[in-house]
Chains A and B, each alone.
Chain A
């Protein structure tokens, strides 16, 4: 959690000489390449051989565990075949059996096509948002449309769809909902907080600084506990708010503080002349902020923003601790049944693939974007 800040992007001026091991296989003959990059000194030769030994050894172990000796199917819940090869082979039969549960948790079984479609919509929204030619007003409309569709599909109750309460939602859609809404709502809040922190008005500045530092000083777990046990006390008698919504509020509060610091970094990087020029044109504070400062500041911090998004995406897994069925909790729960107890490693590896694909995709995207935006600036 809370490494939100710190997906470290590659340094801007990476020297071409230091630490750029030769990459081009194409230009150099393999033997020469290997000599230059693997066996150029006694120490490196020893290191290479040692590493090759370990990599080969563990690769063989892994392949024999994960593929050769693995059990792919068992009849019903009869996991004897899996238990016989514990530690020697993986029990992928678990994924076979529990796939639907891990993906959708307790959502009614015959309605599973709805959360599946929701996942597809989310993915489409992400892909569209990543394309720079959609970066205009149309994107907002697309998002609103997408979110309405997601709401209709998840809740139902209209168009002849059966109503499904939030307490039955689970699996990957929950992870996507928590992170998408968390970021989408926290982001505007964070801009306000960052502006407040740099405001001339002392009362507002003090409040923003207090909020940001307070939230950043405590772990997300404590905020989630607060959401699960303290929020109900805050509300008037008789009013209850769903647990999922409370967790969402906690994540938004947390995300806003971290994003605010990133945005502040962008605001600080804008040269003073821009502020002064805007003032000289007679723009009001909000005109200056919205038309002059923010477009430049946000563009500067896109890479760290994406890195913070990655951190937040990973952090949504913490709702497991207060008992919400996100993807990770669904995997954890899938091995609670006595027949499947003890095959947690398989379940975790399976969901790890999902998290990895999302996070790695985002971080690759942010690196490409960084290159593209800096090229744009150089011209």
Chain B
């Protein structure tokens, strides 16, 4: 075990001082004792575990991953049948987790920003409504909210025949939410390609404009040109291939809906619960971020002759984001980890699949190791990305 030398200056001539009064020696001793104690505890637990596994005849290792799962999964992004392997079942669970987490993060950011700005509204009623929203949602356990939404969707919504139709083609019933689906047309590949080209061109234009402004001081309407490139290029392509467009409407056949996109009650409850809950936290972050920008910044920027939109975009937002991004990152991580509560309402996320798997195989250690490994990987990736973004916008001190 290595030890960093302490910051204590030793007399250069003296030999090695091995007395207990030497802080370096003491530090090494402490560390040996602590590591030894922890090691002993771990060794004790591991040896108990090995013994228990032997007496209970529980298999070890990840060999079961190749076996047939025989476990039905309610919803899946990729084709799946109970005849597939455990590995594939887990992958389905992982995709379900990622699906709800990604959609949830996007929606929670949108809703949270709106509520956060609403809390700062000069309109008293708007500000108070946002405040009540935040206080109620933040002070109730998420699991309670998820169960509430799930019960609402499952028990209080009518059957498919009496489904509520808030918009044409949208059906709310106890079978979940039915939405019309946009059918994929042969030319859509080109539109997607055009969109990518548009984005690349917009980035190039904005870089060029920045360089030009830095060298000549001339401005260029970057925003409008970029918008035109990003929306216009795929739009023109869409028109060029003859604007093919078709919706598949959900239809009531027999006792259930056919066609369209179906969000199961479980998915809908989980998504609504996660989004509304996380949005309450993001709203507080956004609010404090905006408040953290000194009023003088507004006044100074306006005095320089910038328009209000420019002040917001060029002066206030960059400073507010610096306050907003780090805590928002931890909210994204929380949302992802909170999606594990899906197991309580029966949405087949990774925890739910792994839990069923460990009940079937009895291999608890492997099952929990998989769950933990998956979440650690997701957590580390999100925080790595957000750290990169944070560095990108952080204050560069000169």
Binding site for B on A (CB under 8 A): 1-3, 5-8, 10-11, 13-15, 17-19, 21-22, 37-38, 40, 44, 47-48, 51-52, 55, 86-87, 200-204, 207, 214, 216-222, 225-226, 229-230, 232-237, 310, 314-315, 317-318, 320-321, 328, 332, 342-345, 348-349, 351-352, 355-356, 359-360, 363
**What are the residues of chain A within 8 A of B343 when measuring CB–CB?**
221, 321
7 contacts between A and B (CB under 8 A): A15-B295, A38-B124, A51-B125, A219-B351, A225-B371, A317-B141, A349-B148
**What are the residues of chain A within 8 A of B156 when measuring CB–CB?**
86-87, 345
Contact A2 B155 (CB under 8 A): no
Partner of B144, one of A225, A328, A343: A328
**What are the residues of chain A within 8 A of B281 when measuring CB–CB?**
3, 6-8
Partner of B38, one of A37, A207, A220: A207
Contact B143 A218 (CB under 8 A): no
Contact B124 A17 (CB under 8 A): no
B85-112 interface bits toward A, Cβ cutoff 8 Å, 1 = contact, 0 = none: 0000000000000000000000000000
Contact B380 A217 (CB under 8 A): yes
Contact B375 A218 (CB under 8 A): yes
Interchain CA distance A226-B292 in the complex, whole Å: 42
Across the A-B interface, how many residue pairs have beta carbons closer than 8 Å?
Answer: 232
Interchain CA distance A320-B3 in the complex, whole Å: 45
Contact B143 A230 (CB under 8 A): no
Contact B379 A11 (CB under 8 A): no
Contact B368 A225 (CB under 8 A): yes
- Indicate whether A1 sits within 8 Å of B338 (C-beta atoms), given known contacts A214-B376, A234-B48, A348-B144: yes
Contact B139 A8 (CB under 8 A): no
B27 at the interface (CB under 8 A from A): yes
Closest to B118 in A: A47
Tell which of A6, A18, A40, A359 has the most Cβ of chain B within 10 Å. Answer: A6
Contact A328 B143 (CB under 8 A): yes
- Indicate whether A202 sits within 8 Å of B380 (C-beta atoms), given known contacts A221-B341, A332-B147: no
Interchain CA distance A233-B358 in the complex, whole Å: 14
**What are the residues of chain B within 8 A of A22 when measuring CB–CB?**
124
B294 at the interface (CB under 8 A from A): yes
B17 at the interface (CB under 8 A from A): no
- Indicate whether A37 sits within 8 Å of B123 (C-beta atoms), given known contacts A8-B288, A345-B156: yes
Tell which of A203, A318, A320, A360 has the most Cβ of chain B within 10 Å. Answer: A203
Contact B48 A236 (CB under 8 A): yes
Contact B375 A219 (CB under 8 A): yes
